């Protein structure tokens, strides 16, 4: 009997091993109606997620992508957080993906991203609903409102913030800029003023940010868990605010949240509570964090490149010298005259690569350059691999704003520049981001000099961060 039991155990064990082996083989050799791009899907379920999230202490393309580009070329396959993905560093494929959105591709992000941003977030919506939300957001962030209202308010906030920072021995720049921009945008979005609120709303977003691009393990102590808790707390504040405003039928429209509530009160509303809350959450996050990271890197790059700083300072001092009243606010005409500044901003965002990947999903089997992208697979457009390609940008890691001299103005994503996305989903906050960066630079270089006190080291995981901060001391110019 014992021998029979042993045989049975061995038979079951062998069957399990064979079943696992077959499953693992099918995982690593998926069926496709054509030739899949080269690459590895890694371990079953886990894929190559650990390698993707491995930290990288440079501005260069991540080792994960760089090693695979060298081995497989500009188009390769992998698996991240349980999904099969084609990674593209090919400018032609990138452009094709953006141009065919809504036809062959649609916006898509891994399930973990969707959990973070909400299942009704604007990145997960398509067709009419996405266009409808984009039109609403452009009321706030479009050029007309920037010209009429936001430029002046931004200039005032930058000037006041810098003056406050200059009174301290040093300031951690990333945190300080984040606070400044959050206060500007949160006031326009939800009339939020930290001095008058019992809720420290930005604290929840800081917790959220630390785990946004991290390994998706939702257990206490992990960055991802902290991220999800930050979202939960921020959404609690927004939901309470919405309920109070919905109950106040006599309230006058004061901010963007009121605009959304007016849409919800229509006779046949398109806007739902879930969509409104997820939209507000995404806007509060996106409007300050990406620009703050880019500006922090920009100040670091300017400090390390005195020739660029000198040329930039000369442009802004000339603007001030042409004013009748030197203390008046920045005008739209002055902003539009900042030729070299716009080149500096393009160069900063090219090197910053705040967004390490832009995700889409194939709606059907797609043939491109001899490869098949199967229906349902993700496609990760990889901006850093294009922005730092030496065949496209000479000496790509050099901070050289003059490379943009005499180039046509970029008003959308191109094959070789996609810092603000591309296609139908070109970032609606692009103009606001450029205004914020230009205004901050104007106030900084005309009124202050600065020195680095400590920090400034960069880590990408794969998003950009300053793990030990970037502390600077400001000195008012005489």
Q: Are strands 358-362 and 366-368 parallel, antiparallel or unpaired?
A: unpaired
Asked if residue 443 belongs to a known ligand binding site, the reply is: no
Q: Which value, to the nearest 10 degrees, does the dihedral of the CA atoms of residues 358, 425, 355, 90 take? A: 50
Query: Binding-site residues for heme, please?
Result: 427
Query: Binding-site residues, please?
Result: 427
């Amino acid at each position: 009997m014992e021998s029979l039991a042993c045989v049975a155990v061995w038979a079951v064990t062998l069957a399990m091993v064979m079943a696992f082996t077959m499953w693992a083989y099918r995982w690593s050799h998926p069926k496709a109606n054509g030739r899949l791009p080269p690459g590895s899907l890694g371990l079953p379920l886990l894929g190559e997620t650990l390698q993707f999230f491995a930290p990288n202490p440079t501005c260069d393309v991540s080792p994960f992508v760089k090693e695979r580009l060298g081995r497989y070329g500009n188009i390769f396959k992998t698996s991240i957080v349980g999904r099969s993905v084609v990674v593209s560093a090919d400018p032609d494929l990138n452009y094709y993906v953006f141009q065919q959105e809504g036809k062959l591709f649609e916006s898509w992000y891994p399930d973990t991203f969707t959990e973070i941003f909400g299942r009704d977030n604007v990145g997960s919506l398509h067709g009419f609903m996405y266009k409808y939300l984009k039109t609403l957001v452009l009321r706030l962030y479009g050029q007309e409102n920037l010209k009429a209202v936001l430029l002046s308010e931004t200039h005032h906030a930058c000037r006041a913030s810098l003056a406050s920072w200059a009174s301290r021995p040093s300031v951690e720049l990333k945190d300080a800029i984040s606070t400044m921009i959050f206060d500007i945008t949160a006031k326009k979005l939800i009339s939020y003023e930290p001095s008058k609120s019992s809720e420290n709303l930005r604290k929840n977003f800081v917790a959220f940010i630390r785990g946004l691009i991290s390994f998706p393990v939702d257990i206490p102590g992990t960055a991802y868990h902290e991220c999800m808790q930050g979202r939960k707390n921020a959404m609690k504040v927004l939901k309470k605010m919405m309920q109070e405003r919905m109950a106040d039928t006599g309230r006058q429209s004061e901010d963007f949240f009121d605009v959304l509530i007016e849409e919800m009160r229509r006779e046949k509303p398109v806007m739902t509570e879930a969509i409104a809350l997820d939209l507000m959450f995404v806007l509060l996050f996106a409007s300050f964090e990406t620009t703050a990271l880019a500006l922090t890197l920009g100040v670091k790059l300017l400090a390390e490149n005195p020739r660029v700083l000198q040329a930039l300072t000369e442009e802004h001092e000339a603007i001030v010298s042409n004013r009748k009243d030197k203390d008046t606010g920045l005008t739209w005409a002055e902003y539009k005259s900042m030729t070299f500044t716009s080149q500096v901003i393009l160069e900063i965002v090219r090197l910053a690569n705040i967004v390490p990947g832009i995700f889409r999903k194939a709606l059907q089997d797609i043939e491109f350059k001899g490869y098949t992208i199967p229906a349902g697979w993700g496609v990760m457009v990889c901006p850093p691999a294009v922005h730092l390609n030496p065949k496209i940008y000479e000496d790509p890691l050099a901070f050289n704003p003059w490379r943009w001299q005499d180039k046509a103005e970029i008003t959308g994503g191109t094959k070789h520049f996609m810092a603000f996305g591309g296609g139908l989903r070109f970032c609606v906050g692009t103009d606001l981001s450029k205004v914020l960066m230009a205004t901050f630079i104007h106030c900084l270089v005309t009124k202050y000099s600065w020195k680095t006190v400590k920090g400034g080291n960069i880590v990408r995981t794969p998003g950009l961060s300053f793990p030990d901060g970037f502390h600077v001391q400001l000195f008012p110019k005489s």
